Structure 1
């Protein structure tokens, strides 16, 4: 009962909705399975670190220098995109979500990723047995799910890959500016890389499958966002003029259209966001279309760890959007060409380009396979471990102290970290069921009152 009250209190704080009294789409998504629960409950994650329910090895928080961390590091927050934003040409694999970024212990990201890995495998196995359902689930015919043992082995490979990258940076600090832009033919990520390259501005699928193509009506003149009531809402003229006036200084070209965006994300599902269509004022050819891009302006909430660790580092006192921008710029080798923050109507908003070539990787893509899901999961974990280590090591560009200390500490503490994450994954499974039961009771009560 005490844990249930903690869940109610935490979700009421972060989402401004008490799940024992009202239904929220975000909470309903979180109740579908423990992996979704983890994605939507980053605040709870850090509450549990602070309380010691998630018992991270002390050496990894005290003996390793702080760095820039993602804050919401899980397996679905890595993917393919072009460096420099929409106008870039090089497609890379790297972390792609910095909404909860801040200065903190790297073990926060390591532990959250490992827990997500274990829960993703549990989720996909549950799809094959009927334990879990999903509106996004693929055709499961012929597919085998990674086992719990496979997930634990992949988690160990994740840590080893991370440590190996730190060793490479310790040997040659310039290695931190390398990136992952190719994979072997049989690698689980090779098809995703090819898909992203095709969607880039110079690729054959740009006009049909890019982020721009999925969002914009190319037949309209001037160009405008597609009519899609599930995603976009049109904005009345006077409000449109206010938004255009506020956001125009932060983009590189004319604003061709503005809409309100709905239903994106899990942790940020209830945050205000706008999409701007930005490009040349006159569109005369496909070459002109390639100069257009979608820019997201999203209300930024406080980084999840900082409610529980507010005094960890002076940089974390920056406003919410400014902190995200600074951390992203440090963690990426070549940050987005449009990446800024704006204060608007008393709130802080993050301004960033949405990549044409953006390709995400879902749990079903790596934990379900026709032949060898264990291999797919291991390959993905290795790639993420390497990518995360590069991002962490870019925070301090004056030395390799982080790389040296992290490598040495992980050699001693890896087993303890893996066990702590396994224990917490079990806790998240219990928490997800608690939330599902609570929402059923809330729904029944609301129906009875109508």
Structure 2
């Protein structure tokens, strides 16, 4: 297990962190240093917040630890030419799960935020999640033994669901893997779904818009930024191109796409610092003002994991990062948001989706009972397996032309104990490393050693 770094080792790690940050954040940081000051102050708050914001560092370490090898491009336990090349979430940690309304109008609890999704080793997803459990557990003062139990619960639930899906079991009525819904969820996950169910689009509109001259418009303030006319025109042109990327089965009446207002956005998530973003107010499903709808358009980012995947067939599959994000989400998430699409703005790929009132993240701050935490971790293990199984030869994309669940099931085989032990060992080791890295980062930041952010 990792130990506290001192002296030369700590300084070498500090230089490594700065090197990775320069590659991952350099251009965006130079363009908007104020946004990165906010991002980094949020990351300084805790080791887990630091972990959330540094997928780039995680994959730099993972690539060094696993190393290149074989046709899969990576060597390591449970990896072969297939399991080293599956659709992965790319930033799978315990807080990247929540509720959403799927294309069938069903509230679902599942993985969310696919900004970092790509094709790579499935073990990188489950390892990243396992380390996040160790960090959350440490933050709740759980013993190493209890943390090990949680990681093993996750590993066991993942293994059990993968095996069931590989055998053709546990399919829903439409042939997709089973989902956590109001009918199937229990405990804190069910509570999250019920909370999301009480929200309404009208309630969301009330927080973002106002009625002026008998028409709905975005309200000033609250992170909304008025646009210059030339920028507005560019955004509207990009919006027109986006409409053509929506799946034909989910196209709405033509009036639904009528634009009522457009604004810029400030104050978006920890992982999107420096990325331009816009909100667009649409007519929606009817002429009634209460049915207006808000979508967002934001510049998609280069996924951290992609810097360590060298297969040109993978990189060449995507037109741009917006296209990559949408295609990945549609592959990994059954019945994705019907408003999910892509476009280009000033040569940069954009992700477009609904600002949904039904999207709520799981709140770990209120999860303190060990039984509740254990139940949630098991649910997330099953959700991870369901996500991996959704994205394969049946998802309509040629990048992964085989059954993911069967490939993973065969790779783990009868070594479920070895799989669980691998994740447990990694969780403790990388959790310890991250806590040390967090302290190094705080010292780098507060002492003005991050280039571009010196006061």
Fold shared per TM-score above 0.5: yes
Moved more, 240-249 or 49-58: 49-58
Deviation, 1:40, is 0.6
Q: Is the 8 A contact 2:48 2:136 kept in 1?
A: yes
Q: Is the 8 A contact 2:51 2:434 kept in 1?
A: yes
Q: Is the 8 A contact 2:280 2:294 kept in 1?
A: yes
Match of 2:106 among 90, 93, 97: 90
Cα distance change of structure 1 residues 365 and 183 upon mapping to structure 2, 3 Å threshold: farther
Task: Please give the per-residue CA displacement for 1:366-414, whole angstroms capped at 9, x wherever unaligned.
Answer: 3x3xxxx211211111111111111101122364522422542544332
Task: Check if 1:71 corresponds to 2:77.
Answer: no
Give the CA RMSD over aligned residues: 3.1
Residue 62 of structure 1: aligned partner: 80
Task: Please give the per-residue CA displacement for 1:74-109, whole angstroms capped at 9, x wherever unaligned.
Answer: 11111011102xxx5210011111111111111111
Cα distance change of structure 1 residues 313 and 386 upon mapping to structure 2, 3 Å threshold: farther
Residue 32 of structure 1: aligned partner: 45
Query: Unaligned stretches of 5+ in structure 2?
Result: 1-10, 69-73, 244-255, 395-401
Deviation, 1:428, is 0.4
Alignment of 1:142-181 (within 5 A): 146-172=142-168, 175=171, 176-181=176-181
Task: Please give the per-residue CA displacement for 1:191-219, whole angstroms capped at 9, x wherever unaligned.
Answer: 211111122xxxxx5433x4x44333367
Alignment of 1:269-348 (within 5 A): 269-280=273-284, 283=287, 285=288, 288-290=289-291, 292-311=292-311, 314=314, 317-318=317-318, 319-348=320-349
Task: Check if 1:47 corresponds to 2:60.
Answer: yes
Q: Look up the SS of the partner of 2:271 in the other structure.
A: coil
Cα distance change of structure 1 residues 207 and 13 upon mapping to structure 2, 3 Å threshold: same
Task: Please give the per-residue CA displacement for 1:161-189, whole angstroms capped at 9, x wherever unaligned.
Answer: 11111111022167243211136786122
CA distance in 2, matches of 1:314, 1:378: 36
Deviation, 1:61, is 2.6
CA distance in 2, matches of 1:431, 1:278: 44
Aligned residues: 407
CA distance in 1, matches of 2:206, 2:417: 47
CA distance in 2, matches of 1:215, 1:150: 43
TM norm structure 1: 0.82
Deviation, 1:365, is 3.1
Moved more, 152-161 or 22-31: 22-31
Q: Is the 8 A contact 2:209 2:218 kept in 1?
A: yes
Cα distance change of structure 1 residues 326 and 237 upon mapping to structure 2, 3 Å threshold: same
CA distance in 2, matches of 1:61, 1:70: 17
Task: Please give the per-residue CA displacement for 1:302-338, whole angstroms capped at 9, x wherever unaligned.
Answer: 1111112232753665222222111111111102112
Moved >4 Å (runs of 4+) = 53-57, 183-186, 280-283, 443-447
Residue 234 of structure 1: aligned partner: 226
Alignment of 1:9-20 (within 5 A): 9-16=19-26, 17=29
Q: Is the 8 A contact 1:63 1:405 kept in 2?
A: no
Deviation, 1:122, is 2.5
Cα distance change of structure 1 residues 261 and 171 upon mapping to structure 2, 3 Å threshold: same
Match of 1:215 among 208, 213, 229: 208
Q: Look up the SS of the partner of 1:442 in the other structure.
A: coil
CA distance in 2, matches of 1:148, 1:217: 51
CA distance in 1, matches of 2:450, 2:350: 37
Q: Is the 8 A contact 2:59 2:304 kept in 1?
A: yes
Match of 1:427 among 430, 433, 443: 433
Residue 100 of structure 1: aligned partner: 116
CA distance in 1, matches of 2:67, 2:439: 19
Task: Please give the per-residue CA displacement for 1:207-246, whole angstroms capped at 9, x wherever unaligned.
Answer: 33x4x443333677421223224x2211123321221122
Q: Look up the SS of the partner of 2:99 in the other structure.
A: strand
CA distance in 1, matches of 2:61, 2:452: 31
Residue 397 of structure 2: aligned partner: none
Match of 1:114 among 130, 150, 174: 130
CA distance in 1, matches of 2:144, 2:210: 45
Task: Please give the per-residue CA displacement for 1:248-297, whole angstroms capped at 9, x wherever unaligned.
Answer: 342451111111111211122221111111225985x4xx523x222111
Residue 422 of structure 2: aligned partner: 416
CA distance in 2, matches of 1:281, 1:385: 36
Moved more, 390-399 or 342-351: 390-399
Residue 6 of structure 2: aligned partner: none
Residue 182 of structure 2: aligned partner: 182
Cα distance change of structure 1 residues 445 and 157 upon mapping to structure 2, 3 Å threshold: closer
CA distance in 1, matches of 2:109, 2:159: 18
Cα distance change of structure 1 residues 362 and 420 upon mapping to structure 2, 3 Å threshold: same
Q: Is the 8 A contact 1:54 1:424 kept in 2?
A: no
Q: Look up the SS of the partner of 1:356 in the other structure.
A: coil
TM norm structure 2: 0.81
